[in-house]
Amino acid sequence: MDGKPAAAVATEVSGPPSPGVSRVRLADGIEELVRFTLAASSGESWDDCDVLLSRDYCFRLLQDEPNPTDPHLNDLGNVCGGVPVYPLYKHLARAIEQCINSGIFPRPTNFVGSILLDESLKMRENEWSKLILDEGSELLKMFNAVEFELHVQEPFFSQLRAGLKTVEGRCATGDYNRITPGSLLLFNTCLLLEVQDVRGYSSFSEMLQVETLARVLPGVKTIEEGVKIYRKFYTEEKEKSNGVLAIAVSKVASQPYISVANLLSVKGCSLTDAARALAKHVNRSSDGWWGDFNGSDSKKNMRALEVINRLLINCCWMNVHLIQPYDCVFEIRVREGYGARWSKYGSKFIGFLEPYTEEGFAKGWKH
């Protein structure tokens, strides 16, 4: 509830241009939209914004760089290479934008050659591409339909989102006079509301009396308190010379943050630690000792379990010894030299082992 409405524009502007000239660019709001969605998921619980990421994970994506390093380590334009700098959500936002623009889940051209794409991963990438196409199209459609951008401060923004605040009061100046029933308003780059009606009053005091505090300024106790809030943004002279508008709004079903939440809630990998470890070893043995590693995640998990059972049944050497960085580990080996390690008491699987050779490390344990 401050300033004037910014019309939907395709470039950054220093002031409010004429409304309805062109669409709001997703590129100009994607960072704030992703930040808002992650913040909502890491804080309060929203019924319509359920990101399938842990609160801690969302919090870490929002976290600023604890120890600032080279600011040129990775600019936001390169989403497929280099180590991203904090806060990570900005890098994530640009990656989402590029995915939406291309319409597919992109793979970097310089992808690590030794990592093979099996059918399950290809299938998952096809699912991701479809999600990007569906949700990305919906997001672009919403932004293209926006006629005005407005900004409101807390707690009023949260009240608008929750449907508690249903009337937005503004001084009847400039672009506000062009807002009509049916107009779509984008609040704080995140919340889409539709105008139901626009009613004029001579003063904020009159507006608050007719529209009621509960609908305009929920939580504010008196008309006098409400007028003081508006006085922070408008002088009494401006109010008297222009009049006041009560913009009645309602929340629409499709929301930008819901589409972003859906994009962030893709089904990820369900491989066990053992299956992940086996993926690293399966191509190291020239005699195919580890077997194949194809199929769905569940098949890969089962294959890893079979390898562990094979090692346990046929092991001819076992030991508990110190090794960095794990401290004590429990290790077993079979006659051919292959093996596996667990934590000291066997509660956590650490990884598989190749046969020991003098040049094993230098050759990446390929043999």
Q: List the chain pLDDT tens, one digit each, 367 residues.
A: 665 565 543 333 233 333 433 467 888 899 999 999 998 877 655 666 677 777 888 888 998 876 655 554 445 555 555 677 889 999 999 989 988 888 777 665 555 554 555 566 677 777 888 888 898 899 999 999 999 999 999 999 999 999 999 999 999 998 899 999 999 999 999 999 999 999 999 999 999 999 999 999 999 999 999 999 999 999 999 999 999 999 999 999 999 999 999 888 876 667 788 888 888 888 877 777 898 888 777 888 899 999 999 999 999 999 988 877 667 889 999 999 999 999 877 788 999 998 887 654 555 545 4
Residue 236: CB atoms within 10 A of its CB come to 12
CB 303 within 8 A of CB 323: no
At residue 219, the pLDDT reads 94
Query: Which CATH architecture describes the domain 148-254?
Result: Roll (2.30)
At residue 297, the pLDDT reads 78
Paired residues of 328 in beta bridges? 322
Contacts of 318 (CB under 8 A, 6+ apart): 330, 331, 332, 333
Count of residues in the chain? 367
Query: Tokens at residue 139, please?
Result: 């997001």
At residue 322, the pLDDT reads 86
E strand or H helix at 85: none
CB 40 within 8 A of CB 55: no
Paired residues of 251 in beta bridges? 193
Rounded to two decimals, what is the model's pTM?
Answer: 0.67
CB 248 within 8 A of CB 195: yes
Query: Tokens at residue 292, please?
Result: 């194949």
Within a 13 Å sphere around the CA of 273, how many CA atoms are in the beta-carbon half?
9
Residue spans of the domains in the chain: they are 7-145, 148-254, 273-353
At residue 54, the pLDDT reads 79
CA pair distance 356, 121, nearest whole angstrom: 32
Token pair 């310089």: residue: 110
Biggest CA pair distance of the chain: 93
At residue 53, the pLDDT reads 78
E strand or H helix at 197: strand 191-201
At residue 2, the pLDDT reads 60
Pick from 76, 75, 38: which is nearest to 57 by CA?
Answer: 38
Contacts of 122 (CB under 8 A, 6+ apart): none
> Which residues of 202-337 form beta strands (DSSP E)?
244-251, 317-323, 327-333
Q: 246: which DSSP letter? A: E
Q: How far does Cα 59 stand from its chain's mean position?
A: 11
In the chain, count H helices and then E strands: 12, 10
Paired residues of 191 in beta bridges? 187
CA pair distance 145, 18, nearest whole angstrom: 16
At residue 114, the pLDDT reads 46
- CA torsion sign for 184, 172, 199, 169 is positive
Q: How far does Cα 112 stand from its chain's mean position?
A: 25
